[in-house]
Amino acid sequence: MKHIRPTESELEILSILWERGASTVREVHDILSQTKDAGYTTTLKLMQIMHEKKLLDRDASSKTHVFTTAVSQQTTRQQLLNKMIDTVFGGSASQLVMQALGHHQSSDAELDKIRQYLSDIEKQQKDNG
């Protein structure tokens, strides 16, 4: 099955559900309306479309439908990142990393994490090579 890439609005809804877990349309809409001007019916319609696209699962066993994500956050992040690397950075992951690090203030802890991650990758490549 080919994964459907979520739109920006769909990604906002997915992010809320990844953080909150199972939620009603009203609960999702209440969070969305704190940062954007969207009507309840717009949120409802968007979540129905996301269900049809298999981005959301819906539990209709009670009067109020409860939605959960049908796609994992990790898989979605990876697919969006792969697309960005291919389309914006000409397939170069290192260009993406250099752009991100060059224009973002990283804490010492973040830099230590990055160094450890690079060290782990090098070790893995040596072990597999």
Task: Give residue-wise pLDDT tens across range 54-80.
Answer: 999 999 888 888 999 999 999 898 888
Element (H, E) at 59: strand 56-59
Position of tokens 């319609």?
45
Rounded to two decimals, the pTM is 0.72
Rounded Cα distance, 54 and 6, in Å:
11
**13 in Cβ contact with 69 (< 8 Å):** no
Token pair, residue 35, equals 């940062």
Rounded Cα distance, 31 and 111, in Å:
33
Q: What is the pLDDT of residue 16?
A: 95
